[in-house]
Structure 1
């Protein structure tokens, strides 16, 4: 219970901290502008808009915050943690870039893959003596924690899609088999606050106070992190990420489409979580 309370207190910083509040404000402005375009397209297609841009933006903001809180509590209780030099914050930075550059790729699986490739490249250059930076050359990423982080975010994404994915759906038309077929295009984004647990050798500069963890914690025991925990302190780092959903359907209703998409995301995340212990104990080959 104390771990959950500490996680919630850490998440409060994403609103109280001026820098984090500015990021949230800019995200809301970005989402509002996109939602304004969506409502204009709705009006062009059917002659009226279904909901206002403000309503679309507020639902994204509120549900995203709720999803982020739930996801953060789950992650902290599972014991998902990263070394302070893991570069895990980049996975959330990548989500911002993907939202702007290629919205269809806004998925933490892609962001995680980019981070993994970056770590592989850094280790390659380090082994060949090309990198001399102490910070970069000491990068340490626990793959088990990374997989579970992505899995939990997929589950959160699945529920957000099921609940809010059909809002702002745009009626679209296409010729199929020489017939005019109607359907819907979906494009939704949710800013989520996430509190990531970091292992650091210093208690300063990350959060206020240390965490008194229970005896059974952590449930997730990654090889890298378990070795580091002996000489490190676990602290919380709150940050923002973006979860997105973009799709189109010509054969299903709006509700059925987002429900099926959400279920697929949840099942995918659960499978990733279930397979993590197998891979961790070396039973997956």
Structure 2
């Protein structure tokens, strides 16, 4: 048997047994509740656009649970394979990450907190952590996140009117996914063999330094951790599926480079400093490159030369059942052309029979015709058109937290 296969049943057993532990299960459920709240918030954002609930909260939440379990299992094998041992790093990661989140919501990512903690240890000697281990943990979690984004980052995309850097409002999607990640990691047992300890096979190299002794003679325990991963992005020049795949590629490359630097950091202080700097700066580069690709590309969801382009269509709504999809351009209702969305909806409402709609399919690139069955009284047609002009509601590209707003306010006073 290939040596690594020896750890597969052990890790799987430890992964499943963690859910029997009441304390661990409680923490996992708390994370799940927080994530469920986020998906419910996203459902309300869709309702603002369509005037009706899409009913995706339960579906998105269950998908997040399933993907999170798979990602956690894969992440467990990854951290054990590279020999990553965890001690007290997470006790420092969470408080720093939460403080950074108060400046800007995207700084909640461990890439920033991990880099800051590693730099602090390397320069000032505090806190007492192993920089290579904490950076390897950041890399491993981002590898898992890259897989999750590729598999389901586009699901449940929320239509939005987005204000670009030049102040122009364009149509697009905000991509937001959250996953509860149960993961099993290694911890060194001091003082000899203990209950739950396992002796690693002789082939296994301890890549991550931080414990003394011959790795082949050490005794380890598989301990459970709970993490929450989140993905936020925008899709303007690409469909949500295309954008999530591109983001997954960038994030995967970042995590591979960071993992390689973290491994080498245990043997060279200069490399350790480089890895600590790359953790936040490389993550910033991933975000910048992703936005650059999107903002420099040709927007998809912009007004058509004639007719009304659709930003999104409510799944299983009247328009969806009629065959309309995001990006399609409606050109006429019952053969009558219109100039704006108000006139379009007036034509729908005044139609005595189910209205016939002429449209150009984005997928087929051809003109088509369909009949939309009117919704029940008080229900929505399930259409979200692209922004026309001077939209009152839009999404800012950057979200500054309360501490960040306080800093900007203070900076404004001192710069006068």
Q: What TM-score comes out, normalization by structure 2 length?
A: 0.56
- CA displacement at 1:35 relative to structure 2: 1.1
**Alignment correspondent of 2:282:** none
1:167 has 2:152 as partner: no
1:168-210 per-position Cα deviation (integer Å, ceiling 9, x unaligned): 2111113556864200112211111111211131468xx8432
Report the 3-state secondary structure (helix = DSSP H, G, I; strand = E; otherwise coil) of the residue aligned with 2:211: helix
Matches within 5 A, 1:189-204: 189-202=178-191
Distance 1:108 1:275 in 2: 16
Larger helix fraction of residues? 1
Q: Is the 8 A contact 1:199 1:228 kept in 2?
A: no
Report the 3-state secondary structure (helix = DSSP H, G, I; strand = E; otherwise coil) of the residue aligned with 1:216: coil
**Alignment correspondent of 1:75:** 79
Distance 1:143 1:163 in 2: 31
1:29 has 2:29 as partner: no
CA shift in 2, pair 1:233/1:43, >3 Å: same
- CA displacement at 1:231 relative to structure 2: 7.9
- The CA RMSD measured in Å over matched residues stands at 3.2
1:220 has 2:207 as partner: yes
Figure out how many residues of one structure are paired with residues of the other and give that number: 265
Q: Is the 8 A contact 1:92 1:242 kept in 2?
A: no
Distance 1:14 1:117 in 2: 33
Report the 3-state secondary structure (helix = DSSP H, G, I; strand = E; otherwise coil) of the residue aligned with 1:12: helix
Q: Is the 8 A contact 2:184 2:223 kept in 1?
A: yes
Distance 1:120 1:242 in 2: 27
Report the 3-state secondary structure (helix = DSSP H, G, I; strand = E; otherwise coil) of the residue aligned with 1:251: coil
CA shift in 2, pair 1:243/1:6, >3 Å: same
Q: Is the 8 A contact 1:155 1:265 kept in 2?
A: yes
1:147 has 2:135 as partner: yes
* Mean Cα deviation higher: 20-29 or 99-108: 99-108
- Of structures 1 and 2, the one with the larger relative CO (CA 8 A, separation 6+) is 1
Q: Is the 8 A contact 1:3 1:211 kept in 2?
A: no
| Among candidates 95, 118, 135, match of residue 116 of structure 1 | 118
Distance 1:73 1:236 in 2: 11
Distance 2:80 2:49 in 1: 45
CA shift in 2, pair 1:182/1:114, >3 Å: same
Report the 3-state secondary structure (helix = DSSP H, G, I; strand = E; otherwise coil) of the residue aligned with 2:198: coil
Q: Is the 8 A contact 2:199 2:220 kept in 1?
A: no
Q: Is the 8 A contact 2:187 2:220 kept in 1?
A: yes
1:3-48 per-position Cα deviation (integer Å, ceiling 9, x unaligned): 2322222222331111111112222222222211211210211234
- CA displacement at 1:69 relative to structure 2: 0.6
Larger Rg: 2
Q: What TM-score comes out, normalization by structure 1 length?
A: 0.79
Distance 1:13 1:103 in 2: 34
The runs of 5 or more residues in structure 2 that have no matched partner are: 275-416
| Among candidates 180, 185, 188, match of residue 177 of structure 2 | 188
The runs of 5 or more residues in structure 1 that have no matched partner are: 125-135
**Alignment correspondent of 2:260:** 274
Distance 1:67 1:97 in 2: 23
